[in-house]
Amino acid sequence: MNSQNKELKNLLVINSSARNRNAKSRNLAETLIGHWQKIQLNTKIQHRELGNQSIPHITEEWISAAFKPIENRTQDELNALKKAMNTLKN
């Protein structure tokens, strides 16, 4: 990498294939990550799994909470957002 390029500090890898071992997209992503790590030694790589994870459905409470200020959200709305965030964090 030349001196004009900045170092990438974070890389987010999102897997969305329902296949684990035989997914061509997963294999390609892992190959690219391996090459990336050779040229960007200090990059923090985070993986997010969407293909084999149940993502909660968007509910009326979630929609309502997403479009109003935090201080105006009900406890049900806060719980709906928290449930979605906890699912996606893992």
Q: What is the pLDDT of residue 9?
A: 86
Instruction: Calculate the average pLDDT of the chain.
Output: 84
| Helix (H), strand (E) at residue 15 | strand 10-15
Q: Is the pLDDT of residue 53 over 60?
A: yes
Q: What is the pLDDT of residue 56?
A: 73
The percentage of the chain sitting over the pLDDT mark of 90, rounded to a whole number, equals 36
Nearest to 13 by CA among 43, 49, 41, 42: 49
Kindly report the pTM of this predicted structure.
0.55
DSSP state of 6: P
pLDDT in tens, 3-45: 456 777 899 998 888 887 788 999 999 999 999 889 888 889 9
